[in-house]
Structure 1
Amino acid sequence: MIPSSLAKSKIKSIEKSGTQRSFTIVAIGASAGGLEAITLFLQHLPSDTGMAYIFVQHLSRDHKSMLVALLSKTTEMKVQEVEEMEKMEPNNVYVIPYDKEIEVTDGHIKLIPRPKGKPMNLSVDVLFSSLAETHKENVIGIILSGNGSDGTRGLKQIKLAGGLTFAQDESAKSGSMPQSAISEGVVDFVLSPKEMAEEILLISKHTLSKRTSKKEMPEDQIENSSPDLRTILQLLQMKKKVDFSHYKMNTIKRRILRRMLIHKITKIKLYSDLIMKENAELDMLYKDLLINVTDFFRDTEAFMLLKKTVLPRLLKSKASGDTLRIWVAACATGEEVYSIAMSLIELQYRKASNVPFQIFASDLSAEAIREARKGEYSPHQLKNVSPKRIARFFIKIKDKYRVSQALRDVCIFAQHNILSDPPFSRMDFISCRNFLIYLETAAQKKAMATFHYALNEGGCLMLGKSETIGTSAQLFFPLNKTYKLYSRKNYAGSNRMPDLIPLLSNRAANEKDLPANALQKKTIVPASNSLSATFDAVLLSKYIPASVIINYDMEILQFRGPTSKYLIQASGKASFNILKMANVEITFELRNAIHHAIKSKQTVYKKRIEVNRNSVTDTFQIVNLEVSPLESEKDEPLLMVVFTGREIELDAYMMKGKISNSALKDRRIKKLEEELASARYDMGSITHDQETVNEELQSANEEVVSSNEELQSLNPDFAVALPCKT
């Protein structure tokens, strides 16, 4: 909050908790093309938003910047370099000097002289991350035009802290900086500089952006006992299968308030109503709640200690033929998993160790697990990985790097809830960093008991730098308090698997307290003997078109209407597979339509299919197919297939259209050529899908291995629970 003199060269971003500044800081980062963008932004921004603006741009150390003079012409706000001011005030613009670098020390931004010839460090990331750590939700991060990926990680930190994030749209002259953040999914608003200014003005007028007291915290605006908060948590539990009531409620409320601010909603009741109507918003809140920040070799010193002492000791302790087993809990997108794997492979090579190892990695987020399994990372994400390691463990794929097969093969990824799913067992080392800080005390204790159960005797646990074992000192003793390394204690009574925090087993228990409108889509109209119901039944039986409901395995689940013209049960083994029952002349088009409906999730039509040509009666059938995805409350995706057709007399058809036999042949040839082209296209598509299926099979195999591990952890408890026969 208070920048010191140039001699001290510090900007204090914040005072201690309880005395925060009550205004928002807008942090703006840019590189090439950034001057034009910041100029447009300030030109359209009123001078009385009540916010402070701090701007950092990648500039050459050897050319004196004229930023202050240039920006002063575009706004009525005072523009100054940060080292000239005594404290940060609202309605002011602050510029980081071109000849300074930014570092962070004890939560404060520090300006240090930048040596000649040295490129600027990731100053945008440093600025954003520091402000996020100290100002929490009172930060708005903006990335304007620029090259590279500086700012992406910082925006993620701002979003994690409850702040809002912006990135410039296609109007950016150099789009790689904003595009990097957009592709990472950490941007709330993608706008032009002019539109950003308009949005910032709206946010500044929102009640959630204003606090009347320095001691007032935003989350205080939502009571823990609020029925609307309870409704939101129940919806998350019911639809996402995660009980967030065990998480720190202030964190949950900050995420909710962030979403409310994005939608310009002032009351939690209105947001509760929105989330009940819009599944997409529930998805966005869920994603916000699970947002995570991770890096390769995060906390370098901790990894050095791990590689020098802990891992060698564990490898040495394994008997011949044993496997070193590691669990990385809350693994996010896999960076830490692969970091540990690289360290172990290097240790094996240097010490000629032949001890095999397996890393089990889990996370609550299915999306994060998919990214981890893919194992593809941008150069920015690999900034902590040495060129030597990149050359050894990664393969360049376009603009990204993919982990090598050797690295991928030793890592198994699975979606897993530490609090409610059976734990892995017989582990030698567990890493769970920066997850416990989000849990309430009781849930933390449960997680620690789970880790104790999962570890072998003498096994090690590694936590995040802000975490401790808390009230679980009877389970672990510290190996290194600085880097949060612990060893498992033998503790009487701790060998049973800890009780899991259950999800509500009966769905009704989840739904009983929800407002009626949250469940309106599930309303079932009771059967009735009324005249209307009878009328509907007769109409359906007489006039409904031939149709069936099928699943994605092509199995028919229900028949409606006169389907015998199109479907028939063949002799031999009974089957309800629609392709086996269908008239052979429509099988090709039917298969094609179903394939495309599954792939596109859209209705697919196939019209004027000629079948059942009868040389005796000189007639044929024209069949139309319609395949539509069917919305269902069941988890299983379904399709509705509708058949319509009519019989045509060939002579009348030819006379009406004045079509000759040769023209009919030509049309038939053209039809066959179209079918051949379509078949070739489908073969290419099927080949691509086969590659995708192979990847999914690998993922499924990892899930099976993970489930097997969980089941093995349950076996000892079942053995204890079973009564002895006498």
Structure 2
Amino acid sequence: MPDDSAAPDPVDLEDDIADGSDDEDRSAPDDADSSTGDPGPEDAAFEALVAFLAETRAFDFTGYKRPSLQRRVRHRMQTVGITSFDVYHDYLQANPDEFVALFNTILINVTSFFRDRESWEYLADRVLPTLLHRSAPEPIRVWSAGCSAGQEAYSLAIVLAEAIGVEAFRERVKIYATDVDEDALAYARQATYSDREMASVPAEFRDKYFDTGSSGATFRPDLRRSVIFGRNDLTRDAPISRIDLVTCRNTLMYLNAETQARVVGRLAFALRPEGVLFLGKAEMLLNHADTFQPIELKRRFFRRAATAVAEPLVLSPSHGVVPRRTSVDELNLLRAHALTASTVAQLVVDADGYLSVANARALELTGLSARDIGRKFSDLDLSFRPVELRPYLESARESRSPRSLRDVAWNRGPSGPGSPRFVDIEFVPMQDERGRSAGTLLVLTDVSRYQLVQDELEQATKQLQAASEELQSTNEELETTNEELQSTVEELETTNEELQSTNEELETMNEELQSMNDELQGANDELRERSAEVASLNTFMRSILGSMNFAVVVVDRELTVRVWNELAEDLWGVRTDEAVGTHLLNLDIGLPVGELRPLLRNAMAGDGGRAEMHVSAINRRGRPVELSVSVAPLEIPDDVQRGALVVMRPGVPTAGGVAD
């Protein structure tokens, strides 16, 4: 977990969302980091557009991968017929309603109940039992980050209710579902889904956890109260705290590496120790091994890495005060015993140059005896053998500062000259309470074992040096090989990152295609309904025209035949597919169509209503026939004449008919 001083302040969504509202799997935009080098004019215009969105609408897309972000913005620009980012920038300023459409395009709403079914089965069978056992009987807190339309949050509710029972779920579980899209959150809060959205819900769960109505399937209200929806931007807002399970599926893949690292740190901060993170199938956390450890990498389950907690400082108790002795004799006796028992050889030469004190260790080391105490130090063999000590003794007394001799070869004492020792000798001048010289303390420290170790070390160093020279050539070869391996590893890491980025890109494009497929499916359904209506109307019209007992022809403004019923086929011997699309006056039939020209012209000009005339014609069998032909203008509700209706029936025109 990140350090408290660096991490954002934890936020408990229960305080921020008092009304119990909610949200589901809405991912932010996407893709790869912008390429290196100076940005071109188009890139600069795009970055200005992103900055404008952050400043005016508080939607900060600067952490999103540029390729897919540009692709989504261009998709919206194509919809409104704009090709330049600068022009679209101006268009947004002039049309505030366009922001909603743009955000709905950028924030891809692709989610479903129990998406990647095998991962949800692993969650129910392997992850939740351990998690619930560890947290029992404490409340269970779950966070669905980037929840879009709410399907993932309700999927979590179903899985947890199945694991611990409905009653325990109502008492112990809180599911916080967050997203940046307010429209998606509003839809999720309704908890009502269509049959197509419910297709991925198993039948037993659909009957147990949803109430079916005319508007769709609605999640059970008693369990719905445990799911809280609210707005939270993972890239900017503080995380929810004390969470047992975080689901953040196919959201990180839209963010660049820097923003991903920041979001992953916040998710780690949100989790309790040993909390579980559930990611989408395109997300790996390859560069965050110090924060999360994989539980099941194939299905993208990770556990928050254990964080070492510093042990509290333990202060040692204060030393007790040694009571001061009031007896000078007892104190002097104690000092004498301490000097005698010391394991360090100590001699004291007084201000007049006499050996006045020597402890047992000093007598053993120097070969002196108790009879030598009180003698002039300069008369003792110790003063000049094995090394001259008198100059150092005199120098320490005169300068009143310590002097020392190091690694003196010492062959005195009971061991004899056959067993030399090495000692360090310290000359420490002493002063009385008036600052006058009180003598000199000689401290002889046996360093023979250190010298032995030093000799052994020197010997070992020589051997190591020889071995080092032998290994030098091998080391150089290994270094060369290591450099080659390092280069290969770096190439593999680069290739792996490129593959990961490509995988994320493909997953993003897949979700975009799925979103577009949903849109096309809706348009296709609507077109199919319209086509059915048109087919029904055509059938109805054909039925009406076929039921008439006279020939009917409909022409447009250019006198091109548009309708030619069956009686017209029978009368003139011209099939419908031959007549439709042909100019009426160009038809080679037994009707003197030239005589109809005035009536058609009047009908097109709108100079009258229905007109009728009597003509003599030859039918398809070559027999003469007398026809009553009526021509009426064909109008639509806006009074714009679009053609004429020609009706031909055997008989004599009615009185009031118009003849050419």
TM-score grouping bracket, smaller chain normalisation: 0.3 to 0.5
Which structure has more relative contact order (CA 8 Å, sep 6+)? It is: 2
- Larger gyration radius, structure 1 or structure 2: 2
TM-score (norm 2): 0.40
